[in-house]
């Protein structure tokens, strides 16, 4: 327990403690071990990080559009020709996204948005 006497001049310093700083130090050490020593900021390939972000957003939009298309198909608001055209478009978009992942050295799994305790987005 830290002791602070407001009636005594202290210049912002801790005046005394009762030995609880060891527990605090172990908490700090635990937090420090969970953090990386360095941030991986590779000057040679900043485009890969940007590509990952952009391709992740494109994949997110693609998945949302596919879900909307499925809702419209299930509702019966599309003709057979429109359904065929949408299917072809999504296949081409998926193939192009895979090509771009290959170009930037990414895997499709790299595009998943991990929201920590909330799980993956989509």
Please say whether the beta carbons of 108 and 98 come within 8 A: yes
Residue 24 is predicted with a pLDDT of 63
Mean pLDDT of the chain: 77
Residue 98 is predicted with a pLDDT of 93
Whole-prediction pTM value?
0.58
Average pLDDT over residues 92-121: 85
Asked if the model's pLDDT at residue 87 lies above 90, the reply is yes
Asked if the model's pLDDT at residue 108 lies above 70, the reply is yes
- CA–CA distances in Å: residue 20 to residues 2, 14, 15, 16, 76: 8, 13, 14, 11, 68
Average pLDDT over residues 66-87: 94
The pLDDT tens digits of the residues spanning 32-74 come to 666 555 555 555 567 778 888 899 999 999 999 999 999 999 9
């Amino acid at each position: 327990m830290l002791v602070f006497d407001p009636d005594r001049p202290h210049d912002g310093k801790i005046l005394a403690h009762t030995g609880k700083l060891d527990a605090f130090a172990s908490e700090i050490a635990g937090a420090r071990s969970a953090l990386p020593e360095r941030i991986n900021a590779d000057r040679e390939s900043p485009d890969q990080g940007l590509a990952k972000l952009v391709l992740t957003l494109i994949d997110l939009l693609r998945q949302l559009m596919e879900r909307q298309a499925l809702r419209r198909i299930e509702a019966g608001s599309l003709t057979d020709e429109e359904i065929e055209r949408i299917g072809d478009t999504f296949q081409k978009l998926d193939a192009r996204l895979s090509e771009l992942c290959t170009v930037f050295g990414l895997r499709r799994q790299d595009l998943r948005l991990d929201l920590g305790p909330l799980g993956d987005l989509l």
